[in-house]
Structure 1
Amino acid sequence: MIVVLAVTLVGAVGGGVGTAQAEGSGSGASYDRQLLFYNHSYGVLDRETADAIERSDYLKDFASFEVRTTTGSGGQTWTGRYLRGRETYLELFGVGDLPGPDGTLGAAGLGVSTERDGDLATVAERMKSEGATPIEFLQTRDFGDGVPVPWFDALLTATEYDAFQAWAMEYRPEYFADPRSNTEPASFPGDVGRERYLSDDYRNHLMRDITSVHLAVTEGDLADTVPLLRAGGFAVRTVTGGGVVAEGGGTTIRLDAVPRAQAGLQRVTMSLNRPVKDRHVERIGNSTLTVGPGSHAVWTFPANGTP
Structure 2
Amino acid sequence: MRTPLSGLVAAAIASLVISTGASAAPAHAAEEERPDPLLAFNHSWAMLDRETADAIEHSEYLGRFADRRINTGNDGTSTWTGRYLLGRETYLEFFGPGDAPDAVAGDTGLAVSADQDGDLAIATDNLRKLVDDPVEFTQVTDLGDGTPIPWFDVTYTTATYDTFFSWAMEYREEFLDDPRLSFPPAAYEGDVSRDRYNRDRYLDHQMRDVIGIQIATTADDIEKMVPLWRAAGITIRVLKDGGVLAFDGMTTIRLLPVPAEEAGLRHVIFALNEPAEEPATETIGNSTLHVGPGAYALWTFDPIETRATTRSQGTGKPLHPAFGG
When normalised by structure 2's length, the TM-score is 0.81
1:17 corresponds in structure 2 to: none
The match for 1:92 among 91, 94, 105 is 94
Distance (whole Å) between structure 2 residues aligned to residue 181 and residue 141 of structure 1: 12
Equivalent residues of 1:63, 1:205 under 8 A apart: yes
Shift of 1:141: 1.2
Secondary structure of the structure 2 residue equivalent to 1:113: strand
Residue deviations 1:242-286, cap 9 Å, x none? 210001230011111111001111110001010111110000001
Residue in structure 1 matched with residue 301 of structure 2 by the alignment: 301
Structure 2 Cα separation of the partners of residues 301 and 133 of structure 1: 36
In structure 2, the residue matched to 1:79 is 81
Paired residues for 1:281-300 under 5 Å? 281-300=281-300
Alpha-carbon distance in 2 for matches of 1:75, 1:67: 20
Task: Report if the CA contact (8 A) 1:182-1:199 is conserved.
Answer: no
Match of 2:48 among 34, 45, 50: 45
**Alignment check: 8 A CA contact 2:217 2:258 kept:** yes
**1:108-257 equivalences in 2 (<5 Å):** 108-257=108-257
Alpha-carbon distance, 1:240 to partner: 2.9
Q: Distance in 1 between matches of 2:132 and 2:206?
A: 39
Aligned with 1:180: secondary structure?
coil
Establish whether residue 274 from structure 1 lines up as the match of residue 274 from structure 2: yes
Shift of 1:76: 1.2
Measured after TM superposition, the shift of residue 95 of structure 1 is 2.1
How far has the Cα of 1:85 moved from its partner?
0.3
Q: How big is the shift at 1:157?
A: 0.4
- Tell me if structure 2 keeps the 8 A contact 1:286–1:305: no
Write out per-residue CA displacement over residues 221-260 of structure 1, whole angstroms, 9 at most, x where no aligned residue: 1111110010011110012322100012300111111110
Aligned to 1:27: none
User: 1:64 — aligned with what?
Assistant: 67
Aligned residues: 273
Distance 1:35 1:214 in 2: 22
Q: Is the 8 A contact 1:50 1:94 kept in 2?
A: yes
User: Compared with structure 1, are the counterparts of its residues 132 and 294 closer, same or farther at alpha carbon in structure 2 (3 Å cutoff)?
Assistant: farther
Distance (Å, rounded) in 1 between the aligned partners of 2:74 and 2:203: 28
SS of structure 2 residue aligned to 1:229: helix
Deviation at 1:33, TM superposition (A): 5.6
Residue by residue over 1:74-114, the C-alpha shift from the partner in whole angstroms, topping out at 9 and shown as x without a partner, is 331100000000000000111222222x2x11001000001
Structural mapping, 1:23-34, within 5 Å: 34=37
Q: Would you say the 8 A contact 2:66–2:87 is kept in 1? A: yes
The amino acid that maps onto 1:59 is L
Alpha-carbon separation, structure 2, partners of 1:69 and 1:271 = 27
Alpha-carbon distance in structure 2 between the residues aligned to 1:214 and 1:40: 13
Cα distance in structure 2, aligned partners of 1:84 and 1:132: 34
Q: Deviations over 1:40-74 (max 9, x none)?
A: 000011111111111111111111001110112x3
SS in 1 for 2:266: strand
Q: Report the CA distance between 1:129 and its aligned residue.
A: 1.7
Alpha carbons 1:127, 1:133 under 8 Å: kept: no
State the secondary structure of the residue aligned to 1:116.
coil
The one-letter code of the counterpart of 1:78 is: W
> How far 1:132 sits from its partner (Å)?
4.5
RMSD across aligned positions (CA)? 1.5
